[in-house]
Amino acid sequence: MQFNDFREFLGFLEEKNELKRVRRPVDRYLETALVTKKSIEERGPALLFENVKGYGIPVASGVYGTQRRVCLGLNTTPEAFVKDYVKRSERLKEFSPRIVSSGPCKENIIKGRKVDLNKFPITWHAERDRGWYIDATCCIVQHPETRTRNASVHRLFIHEKNQTGLWMSPFNLWHIIMRYWEQGEACPMAVAIGVDPYCMMAASTSMPLEEDEFSFAGAQRGKAIDMVKCETIDLDVPATAEIILEGEIPPHERKLEAPFVEFTGYYGDERLAPIFNVKAITHRDQPIYHDIITGPPPDENQPMLITNMAEVHKVVARVFPEESILDVYLTEGGCTYFNCVVRIKKRYPGQGKQVASAVLAYQGVKNVIVVDEDIDARNHVQVEWAFTTRCRGIKDTIVIPDSLGCPLDPTSTDGVVTKMGFDATKPVGMDKPMSQMVHNPCYFPTDTVRLSDYIDGWKGEGIYRGDKKERQRAKETVSV
């Protein structure tokens, strides 16, 4: 299925029972976020809050709350994701964006003094947040010399009706803004809210600066993205977006930003951050406002970071035969960002550490465990077993103190962290001398057995629900 816009994707999720409408009145102060967080924790549906107090505009939230939904948006599955992503990324040139003369995002155009962000049901997520934040953003800029487009997700703190704060780690947006500021110029930026899943995922991915992230979005969809020119700045935006903000980031102004509950699960520190002056807003008729909930895992930001698995795969593939990389997995407890498990077909001594050091070159990854092909990288019990029985502590550990990581990591100082790589592979040839036992693991062929053939009352799905009569007796027993 190829989605043309955000609302088409929401409709598809509703058909699949992956989205439910909330009709009762809800408050945009804490309530929409809390209800969404609960649904995400219970692996429940995305929500469309139709009746946000004081607003006629619905809020869609939790849309990317599970990796399953992210993958539905990209027409793949969590298991096939890395392979599909890498294969499609090789075809960027065929899917350059198509510039069209107009599109639904131009149905309403508001400029100058009439610009007022309060028109939209912008939410307040967590109690100690600094205030109202827009965070389901697709922030679009263009490199001043190459004109390559860049898209990224950044939360925008509402300072005034036409001004927001902007916080960024030193990724591509930061590098591009610096190019403008070094010339003393403001950087033009457009922010699309409520975009199709391909543009949203392109924005949450960091790609090489020379690659157009909207070509990437087109390649993931298998059809070029339609884009239209902005009204007040020289930028193109997705034609079917729900809402577009147009403006610029001036070089010298800074205002206080944060606390804001981050994807690491902690409130970020208050700090001075650049500002974004909004010059125009364009939006569709009856727009849908998109919101994304961040916080400790499970949250919504984290499933969207699944793209990092594919990017780490690409990094490893530069130093290790691609067909021998069997899986790259970022764990949920590691916020789908910091902790990586790589499953490899090891053939040569030393390859465990070689792969670990390549992965640690990826900025976000802080810890990596490399395992053999008999270990399921997504099964934490198996990974811990390999770590326990195949990793000889410090001998099989790489430590890189003072490396650039993520500034939002509470263990970091200004983004500088200690990185560690663990080689939990079995020895090959002369590397890693250890007991011969390691070559004799025992696996029971449990796949060949169906418990329901042996135990009356076994309902499958791995849950033994007990004897029917006993269950009834338990129901009738009054609990104290």
Ligand X SMILES: Cc1cc2nc3c(=O)[nH]c(=O)nc-3n(C[C@H](O)[C@H](O)[C@H](O)COP(=O)(O)O)c2cc1C
Q: Say whether residue 220 binds ligand X (CB under 6 A).
A: no
Measured from the Cβ of residue 268, the count of other Cβ atoms closer than 10 Å reads 21
Q: Which is nearer to ligand X, 177 or 281 (CB)?
A: 177
| Candidate list 206, 277, 331, 363; residue touching ligand X; CB under 6 A | 206
> Where in 376-405 is the site for ligand X (CB under 6 A)?
none
Task: Please provide the distance, in angstroms rounded to a whole number, between the alpha carbons at the two ends of the chain.
Answer: 53
Q: Cα 181 to chain center, whole Å?
A: 29
Give me the least distance between CB of 259 and ligand X, in Å please.
13
Q: Say whether residue 292 binds ligand X (CB under 6 A).
A: yes
Q: Which is nearer to ligand X, 261 or 383 (CB)?
A: 261
Q: Say whether residue 346 binds ligand X (CB under 6 A).
A: no
Q: Say whether residue 168 binds ligand X (CB under 6 A).
A: yes
Kindly provide the b/e burial profile for residues 219-231, where b requires at least 16 CB atoms within 10 angstroms of the residue's own CB. Answer: bbbeebbbbbebb
Q: Say whether residue 204 binds ligand X (CB under 6 A).
A: yes
| Candidate list 36, 67, 150, 264; residue touching ligand X; CB under 6 A | 150
Give me the least distance between CB of 62 and ligand X, in Å please.
12
Report strand pairing: 163-166 vs 187-193.
unpaired
Q: Which stretch binds ligand X (CB under 6 A): 199-207, 396-404, 437-445, 465-473?
A: 199-207
Q: Which is nearer to ligand X, 258 or 344 (CB)?
A: 258
Q: Which stretch binds ligand X (CB under 6 A): 106-114, 164-172, 424-432, 463-471?
A: 164-172
Short-list 375, 391, 393, CA closest to 443: 375
Q: Say whether residue 357 binds ligand X (CB under 6 A).
A: no
Give me the least distance between CB of 135 and ligand X, in Å please.
5
- Joined tokens for residue 133: 């934040």
Q: Say whether residue 122 binds ligand X (CB under 6 A).
A: no
Cβ–Cβ < 8 Å for 151, 199: yes
Cβ–Cβ < 8 Å for 360, 421: yes
Q: Say whether residue 132 binds ligand X (CB under 6 A).
A: no
Q: Which is nearer to ligand X, 207 or 383 (CB)?
A: 207
Length of the chain in residues, anyone?
Answer: 480
> What's the angle, vertex CA 203, arms to CA 199 and CA 204, rounded to 5?
120
Q: Say whether residue 261 binds ligand X (CB under 6 A).
A: no
Q: Which is nearer to ligand X, 71 or 355 (CB)?
A: 71
- Joined tokens for residue 246: 């147009």
> Where in 169-188 is the site for ligand X (CB under 6 A)?
169, 171-173
Give me the least distance between CB of 204 and ligand X, in Å please.
4
| Candidate list 304, 310, 325, 330; residue touching ligand X; CB under 6 A | 304
Q: Say whether residue 412 binds ligand X (CB under 6 A).
A: no
Ramachandran angles phi, psi of 239, nearest 5°: -65, -25
Q: Which is nearer to ligand X, 263 or 422 (CB)?
A: 263
Measured from the Cβ of residue 11, the count of other Cβ atoms closer than 10 Å reads 13
| Candidate list 130, 154, 346, 419; residue touching ligand X; CB under 6 A | 154
Q: Which residues pair with 466 in a beta bridge?
A: none
- Amino acid of residue 413: T
> What's the angle, vertex CA 213, arms to CA 62 and CA 163, rounded to 5?
65
Q: Which is nearer to ligand X, 339 or 425 (CB)?
A: 339
The whole-angstrom separation of Cα 221 and Cα 479 is 54
The whole-angstrom separation of Cα 221 and Cα 392 is 45
Count Cβ atoms within 10 A of the Cβ of residue 478 and give its class: 0-12 exposed, 13-18 middle, 19 or more buried.
Answer: exposed
Contact residues toward ligand X (CB under 6 A) are 135, 150, 152-155, 167-169, 171-173, 204-206, 292, 294, 301, 304
